[in-house]
Amino acid sequence: MQSFRTELENPIVEQDIIDLEKKIRAFREGKIHDEKFRSLRLARGVYGQRQPGVQMVRIKLPFGKVTFKQLLKIADIADEYGSGNLHLTTRQDIQIHYVSLDRTPQLWAELEQDDITLREACGNTVRNVTSSPTSGIDPLEPFDVSPYAQATFEYFLRNPICQEMGRKFKIAFSSSDADTAFSYIHDIGAIPKINETGERGFKILLGGGLGAQPLLASPVEDFLPEDQLIPYIEAIIRVFDRHGERNNRNKARLKYLIQKIGLDEVLRLANEERTALKVKTYKINRDTVPQPELPEDITYSDTEIANPLRYEQWLATNVFEQKQQGFYGVYIKVPVGDIPTATARKLVAAIKPYVGDEIRITQNQGLLLKYVRKDALPALYAGLHNLDMAAPGFDSLADVTTCPGTDTCNLGISNSMTMAKVLEDVIYNEYEDFIYNREIKIKISGCMNSCGQHGLAHIGFHGSSLKAGAKVLPSVQVMLGGGTVGNGEGRAAERVIKVPSKRATDVLRAILDDYKAFSGENETFHAYYDRQGKDYFYRLLKPLADLTTLTEDEFVDWGHQETYVSAIGVGECAGVIIDLVATLLFESEEKLGWANGAYAKGLWADAIYHSYNTMISAAKALLLDKGVNSSTQTGVIKEFDNNYVATAELALDGTFNDLALQINKNEPSEEFATAYKQQATDFLEAVKAKREAVLQS
């Protein structure tokens, strides 16, 4: 591991990678418990696959932005360490599969040389900050949200307040009221606004999420001034960290905390945190995301188009005029989000003469190219066509979003990738007029957790299984009526009926045939669905759920040859609960070390938060000795007072509540950081002494 240590210029990043190497070695030597190690690697973008012995590595690309050089580097990494394939995700990341755990530190080091990180791409932290891919060129945008997404990413990366939350936290910025980043299904969603005096700000949505139980976010601010954005997000995250569920991961999202204590209480608690915030205002550097290097302005030679009709379809569905006069944005439809590395290299070579040096990954697993001159469109199309990447119908009914499903995911119940390709073939071959329809979306997930966004689809499917006598067959739950309304409003799809997976094509045909026959002129799919009602679609599709007509082929999942067997592993969308006393005390020591490190650098707020976490981890360790496993940090504080302070088993000057919760009652000054860190040190020593006494008794 010596090679990367002289190549990296960022000492913080270098330390991250050295720490990962040490943790892997300790895990191999049996010094770190398996569950603890899982949380450590998840926070570093390393995720267990369905296949034993290999990992998925998720590369965190803020708002989906990647340069030509970065994409080529990622392709090289995928060849060297993975399976030679790049998978684009619905959160604008790139995933590499089949990576050996022991090689992940070197992989990380090589990516960091081109300013690409894995840090916090998985795990219980702030995940990749997404935005509308069109931000910066969107004709409808009040202003470019890219610098705000970048600032949010930078501020919360490695931030102590979000390193070990109960579960993940997702933030999205839409470029306009069209809400193409789906603000309404995020923990925090932001939509840009300009007030009557010309000032910039955001409409803020809070507490959305998909998963097995989709909940739509609530509007909480009509206009939050831009310099209040970061402090506002920090306050909400601090509340989630302190009060959010930690034992039951199915209830460990912000949306469930809001359900439990109420939106008003969450906002009240967030207001209480403002005293302790690292910053009270945060000026956004609007120039932090520079415009890409533009293609050279040259005279383009005439390009012969082999299929003029297909070219016209591509222009109509995949090309739009930017807000920058004379330039066009061009979408690339990427089936199931997979790009082989050889194709990625050819893609960069093909587009480089015609587009700006910035590619955006889109939420439906495609690509957006920017700054294409009108005269360059024919040549660009020809280059994409030669790579089989010029299919029309981007973000239309023919552009199906899907997660990897049973191909690589532990939680996949039935196949989604092959099914997506089959459904697209149905559209292109039988319903070609629908490639112009960008209102209706089809989305598929391999299980109910909605990584493929089926919960916000007009027509959605998620993997499931059905019993037919003594046999089990792959099936899909059909979801209908979801989707974006606009300006922070959305709809969650409704469960209608479950059918065998192989009948998904017939489900699609039945719905589209009915829509063509019975929708009114210019009637939207939402209006059509509402008018007909859920029961209408249940009756329409019920014949397809008849299991007395099954064929042997229907016991074999899409893309498979063997008979279906339901097999679900342990999901790693977030870390698991660590319940070993010794491990928690080890963590407490580590966190106190972080507090000392931050203090030495004059980072008072960080030192304070690390000190707080030191005390919480130590208190939780002693509680586990009594069999008390509280599900929230506030619960830990309460139970420690009940079990140790009130019983005088551990003497404190006052209550543990008073000690720990000084954190949100004091400004993050040097004076308070000094005192609080010392109190955390003393508390940890007292806990260790108590633990030792228990072991000796």
pLDDT tens digits along 526-576: 999 999 999 999 999 999 999 999 999 999 888 887 776 655 444 444 433
> 15 pLDDT exceeds 70?
no
Segment 595-619 shows an average pLDDT of 96
Q: What local confidence, expressed as pLDDT, does residue 39 receive?
A: 63
Taking CA atoms, 383 is separated from 298, 306, 343, 377, 589, in Å, by 17, 12, 12, 10, 57
Q: What local confidence, expressed as pLDDT, does residue 5 receive?
A: 45
Sheet holding 442-445, edge to edge: 401-402, 442-445, 459-468, 471-480, 494-500
Segment 279-288 shows an average pLDDT of 96
> 648 pLDDT exceeds 60?
yes
Token digits of residue 434: 């629908």
Q: How confident is the model at residue 4 (pLDDT cuts 50, 70, 90)?
A: very low
Q: How confident is the model at residue 654 (pLDDT cuts 50, 70, 90)?
A: very high
CATH of domain 401-555: 3.30.413.10
Q: What local confidence, expressed as pLDDT, does residue 697 receive?
A: 66
Q: What local confidence, expressed as pLDDT, does residue 42 receive?
A: 63
**3-class DSSP state for residue 418?**
helix
> 17 pLDDT exceeds 80?
no
> 1 pLDDT exceeds 60?
no
Q: Which residues contact 286 (CB under 8 A, 6 or more apart)?
A: 144, 147
Q: Residue 602 and residue 597: Cα distance in Å, rounded?
A: 9
Q: What local confidence, expressed as pLDDT, does residue 9 receive?
A: 57
Q: How confident is the model at residue 14 (pLDDT cuts 50, 70, 90)?
A: low
Q: Which residues contact 196 (CB under 8 A, 6 or more apart)?
A: none
> 292 pLDDT exceeds 60?
yes
Q: How confident is the model at residue 13 (pLDDT cuts 50, 70, 90)?
A: low
Tell me the percentage of the chain whose pLDDT exceeds 90: 71
Burial of 655 (0-12, 13-18, 19+ CB in 10 A): middle
Sign, CA dihedral 262-263-266-269, equals negative
Residue 284 amino acid letter: I
Segment 618-633 shows an average pLDDT of 92
Residue that wins the pLDDT comparison between 578 and 115? 115
Taking CA atoms, 540 is separated from 200, 431, 508, in Å, by 48, 19, 11
Q: pLDDT tens for residues 357-407?
A: 999 999 999 999 999 999 999 999 999 999 999 999 999 999 999 987 766
Segment 269-298 shows an average pLDDT of 93
Q: What local confidence, expressed as pLDDT, does residue 117 receive?
A: 79
- Phi and psi at residue 82, in whole multiples of 5°? -125, -150
> 6 pLDDT exceeds 60?
no
Sign, CA dihedral 355-361-363-365, equals positive
Element (H, E) at 527: helix 525-532
Segment 605-625 shows an average pLDDT of 95
> 82 pLDDT exceeds 70?
yes
Q: Residue 93 and residue 63: Cα distance in Å, rounded?
A: 8
**Residue written as token pair 């697993």:** 365
Q: Residue 366 and residue 394: Cα distance in Å, rounded?
A: 8
Tell me the percentage of the chain whose pLDDT exceeds 70: 92
The conformation of residue 18, written as its DSSP 8-state character, comes to H
- Phi and psi at residue 194, in whole multiples of 5°? -120, 125
Residue that wins the pLDDT comparison between 291 and 673? 673
Write the secondary structure of 23-57 as one string of H (helix), E (strand) and C (coil). Answer: HHHHHHCCCCCHHHHHHHHHCCCEEECCCCCCEEE
Q: pLDDT tens for residues 474-487?
A: 999 999 999 999 99
Q: What local confidence, expressed as pLDDT, does residue 51 receive?
A: 74
Q: How confident is the model at residue 304 (pLDDT cuts 50, 70, 90)?
A: confident
Smallest Cα–Cα separation from 186: which of 202, 208, 204, 167? 208
pTM: 0.90
Q: Residue 94 and residue 338: Cα distance in Å, rounded?
A: 10
Residue that wins the pLDDT comparison between 82 and 695? 82
Q: How confident is the model at residue 213 (pLDDT cuts 50, 70, 90)?
A: confident
Domain parsing of the chain, residue ranges: 3-112, 130-276, 308-386, 401-555, 581-696
The conformation of residue 177, written as its DSSP 8-state character, comes to T
Q: Residue 568 and residue 590: Cα distance in Å, rounded?
A: 34
Q: What local confidence, expressed as pLDDT, does residue 578 receive?
A: 34
Q: Compute the CA torsion angle 485, 487, 488, 490 (nearest 10 deg).
A: 0
Query: May I ask the CATH architecture of the domain 130-276?
Result: 2-Layer Sandwich (3.30)
> 123 pLDDT exceeds 90?
no
Q: pLDDT tens for residues 419-454?
A: 999 999 999 999 999 999 999 999 999 888 888 899
C-alpha 218: how far from chain center = 19
Fold matches, 130-276 and 401-555: yes
Q: What angle do CA 281, 608, 170 make, to 5 degrees?
A: 60
For the chain, counts of helices (H) and of strands (E): 20, 22
Lowest mean pLDDT among 5-19, 218-232, 429-443: 5-19
Q: What is the DSSP string of 552-603?
A: GGGGS-TT--SPP--------SS------HHHHHHHHHHHHHHHHHHHHTT-
Segment 647-668 shows an average pLDDT of 95
* Fold held by 308-386: Alpha-Beta Plaits (3.30.70)
- Phi and psi at residue 193, in whole multiples of 5°? -140, 155
Specify the CATH superfamily of domain 581-696.
Nucleotidyltransferases  domain 2 (1.20.120.330)
Q: What local confidence, expressed as pLDDT, does residue 296 receive?
A: 86
Inter-axis angle of helices 377-386 and 341-351, to 10 degrees?
A: 160
Smallest Cα–Cα separation from 575: which of 33, 18, 81? 33
CATH of domain 3-112: 3.30.70
Smallest Cα–Cα separation from 136: which of 268, 323, 295? 323
Beta bridge partners of 473: 466
> 62 pLDDT exceeds 80?
yes
